[in-house]
Structure 1
Amino acid sequence: MFGEHHFLPLVLINLLGLAGIVIWHIQGRSRPTGRLIVQILFFGTMSLVLGLGGVSPYRLDDVELQEAGILLAKSARVLWWLHLAWTMIGFVQIYITLNHKPREAHLLQDLIVGVVYLGVALAVIGFVFGAPIGPLVATSGVVAIIIGLALQNTLADVFSGIALTLGRAYVIGDWIQLGDGTEGRVAETNWRSTNLLTGGHNVVVLPNSVLAKQGMTNLSRPDETHWISLSMHVAATQPPSVVEDLMLGVLRSCERIVKIPPPSVALKAIDAMAIEVELQFCVASPASRMSAKNEVIDLVYRHCKTNGLSLAMPPESLSWVTAVASGEPAAISRPLSSSRV
């Protein structure tokens, strides 16, 4: 339809391909939907010209190989394959954006983009330039094995990062606690590591392979509310019910704790000297634990002083006072207190 030697369709494909590249860059990454629409239009038009002109993107005709326009024929097919890759990548990016998880899935997105570009590159080498793909793939496999052995620690981080992303054990913004006690909010995940922003505003960089091997608690699932237990000893000068009511009043007057679910007071133990009390309350997020505990402790002191209660001395302190009064050596009579940090 366009001529015996496909001259006109090849020229049109080259012009469309170059125009598509220019407009693709002008669109920018800030408008992925518009970019994809333009890309589909250019790729569809190029494919239509290929079909109407009887031009195959998989091989060069014998006539084209004999003519001086071989460069025109090859460049048209390279541009068609390039636009095919960009169209597929555009669909992947739109899918991730529509699922509202662009940051969490960027590792998977990068992996898919790499596979698409690799497949298109092999197709161009084999179909357009006629190079044998089999020996090339075999040689690439040997090189990949050598590189893999040299970079096995880095590759372990890469695949661990992909596994953590697919498993969705956490997402950006979650507060997590590791088995060794390290905790913080997930600030960034990349191919090699995961960055945690701790409560002290420090960034902890954890290799993905190390993170995958450790036990982890996600403090943001199902929500960020976090329970705290605070134990203390009150002198046994009042009935336990009075102590319980007083501590409930403390928790109800605290402004930095969550009132739903309601806080509670557990009477753990009692002896001749003290009543052991455990205050259980909830905070809005792990980051507010310190400020909430500080407020509760301050209110406990104030309420006890106002209502004639006093906090009991620790048992080891009583042992030390008794030993000093009886004239025994303090170092011998304080085994518990000497072992505390």
Structure 2
Amino acid sequence: MTKDERPPVGALWRSAAAVLAALAIATLIEPLALRHPDLSALQLWAQPLRNAGLSVACFAGAKLAHGLAARRLLRRRKGRRAVPKVLLDLLWFVLLAVATLASLSLFFRQDLSGILTGSGLVLAVLGFAIRNAVADVFSGLAMGIEAPFRIGDWVRIETLAEGRVQEIGWRTTRLVTRDSTYVILPNSQISSRRITNFSAPRQEYRDHAELTLPVDLPVAQAGQLIAEAATAARAISAGKPPEVQVTHFGPAGITYRVKYWVPQHDREQACRNEVLSLIDAALREQGIRLSAGRMPWDGAEVPGPAGPSQPQG
């Protein structure tokens, strides 16, 4: 629910008027019936009309309480994240359940304890039958409270999917991948995986690429060459020059890691492609070839000239 979806003031006034009107009917119907004993119809319908008035007051009051809470919680405040829609939905469900139970107790003339006991048995049976759906719903509630991501964030759900969050529902979360593929994931599966949010705490983050150059090329010269080539990239964030670090040094070659800032996650591939293309052009212009591999001091097997890229903080 966004700021534009906040309940209008007119709707709140209508709910308040409905509460007052229903309470007035429930309060005045029995005194009127006692004052006019000759009206048999009024005597007959006094109790049902009173219960109906109280029931309408319960539901209208629930609507009014939800509207007031929504306007309060959805008020934009600097430095605070928006309240997840799922929490407001949960509040409405609780208020509606209370109003329903109160109405049932009025019409069936039974206290709430008896109704809750009977409904508890039914809910236990239903809960066992739909336990997977219930797990998804409670996982959605937990994510709504913790808010590990919001609509519009780029996220990676470990072993499941990566994309932009399109919708966060009660049971499922919907992502749109780089290839414009729609992915629908159950909330219970998301809650049990590691989540990487590329858009928090800000959209900009640092990525890196690695390459191994011959050992006879001085480190200072290689670092300057790589840094100058990467700085010319237009896709990376402006005002933050790339950094070059030596990560491995051995007889098979020297491995350099060039770090650069990505403006937002959907530009990651474009940034990486431009940075590597500029470095490749600079190396070819100087007649420098990449080394065939690198050999760390522990002798373990490692990737070749270009290693995998992971976001850096």
Task: Give the structure 2 partner of residue 230 of structure 1.
Answer: 209
> Within 2, Cα distance between the matches of 1:86 and 1:256?
50
* 1:43 maps to 2:22: no
Q: Deviations over 1:48-104 (max 9, x none)?
A: 6766x4979xxx989899813334434333332232122112113222332489986
Call closer, same or farther: CA 1:67–1:48 in 2, change over 3 Å.
closer
Task: Give the structure 1 partner of residue 123 of structure 2.
Answer: 144
> Within 2, Cα distance between the matches of 1:211 and 1:197?
15
> Within 2, Cα distance between the matches of 1:88 and 1:271?
69
Q: Deviations over 1:219-245 (max 9, x none)?
A: 222112222221112245543222111
Query: How high is the sequence identity, in percent, across the aligned residues?
Result: 22
Task: Give the structure 1 partner of residue 86 of structure 2.
Answer: 107
Aligned residue runs from structure 1 range 320-331, under 5 A = none
> Within 1, Cα distance between the matches of 2:144 and 2:6?
24
Task: Give the structure 2 partner of residue 122 of structure 1.
Answer: 101
Q: Deviations over 1:113-141 (max 9, x none)?
A: 11111111221222355244433322211
What amino acid maps onto 1:36 in structure 2? L
2:62 pairs with one of 65, 82, 85? 85
Aligned residue runs from structure 1 range 1-341, under 5 A = 32-44=8-20, 47=23, 53=28, 67-70=43-46, 71-99=48-76, 105-180=84-159, 182-236=161-215, 238-271=217-250, 274-314=253-293
- Contact kept, 8 Å, 2:162 with 2:177, in 1: the verdict is yes
> Within 2, Cα distance between the matches of 1:47 and 1:66?
18
TM-score by length of 1: 0.72
Call closer, same or farther: CA 1:212–1:270 in 2, change over 3 Å.
closer
> Within 2, Cα distance between the matches of 1:195 and 1:259?
32
> Within 1, Cα distance between the matches of 2:252 and 2:15?
80
Call closer, same or farther: CA 1:81–1:221 in 2, change over 3 Å.
same
Task: Give the structure 2 partner of residue 26 of structure 1.
Answer: none
> Within 2, Cα distance between the matches of 1:315 and 1:309?
16
> Within 2, Cα distance between the matches of 1:215 and 1:61?
68
Q: Which has the higher relative contact order, 1 or 2, with Cα contacts under 8 A spaced 6 or more apart?
A: 2
> Within 2, Cα distance between the matches of 1:138 and 1:87?
28
Greater helix proportion: 1
Point out the structure with max Rg over C-alpha: 1
Query: What's the CA shift for 1:252?
Result: 1.1
Query: What's the CA shift for 1:153?
Result: 1.0
Call closer, same or farther: CA 1:65–1:133 in 2, change over 3 Å.
farther
Secondary structure of the residue that 1:67 maps to in structure 2?
Answer: helix
Q: Structure 1: 5+ residue runs without aligned partners?
A: 1-28, 317-335
- Contact kept, 8 Å, 1:237 with 1:309, in 2: the verdict is no
What amino acid maps onto 1:142 in structure 2? L
Call closer, same or farther: CA 1:97–1:292 in 2, change over 3 Å.
same
Task: Give the structure 2 partner of residue 25 of structure 1.
Answer: none
- Contact kept, 8 Å, 2:212 with 2:294, in 1: the verdict is no
Q: Name the count of aligned residue pairs.
A: 286
- Contact kept, 8 Å, 1:225 with 1:284, in 2: the verdict is yes
> Within 2, Cα distance between the matches of 1:116 and 1:226?
42
Call closer, same or farther: CA 1:80–1:268 in 2, change over 3 Å.
closer
> Within 2, Cα distance between the matches of 1:217 and 1:111?
26
Query: What's the CA shift for 1:150?
Result: 0.8
- Contact kept, 8 Å, 1:96 with 1:105, in 2: the verdict is no
What amino acid maps onto 1:37 in structure 2? W
What amino acid maps onto 1:215 in structure 2? R
- Contact kept, 8 Å, 2:174 with 2:184, in 1: the verdict is yes
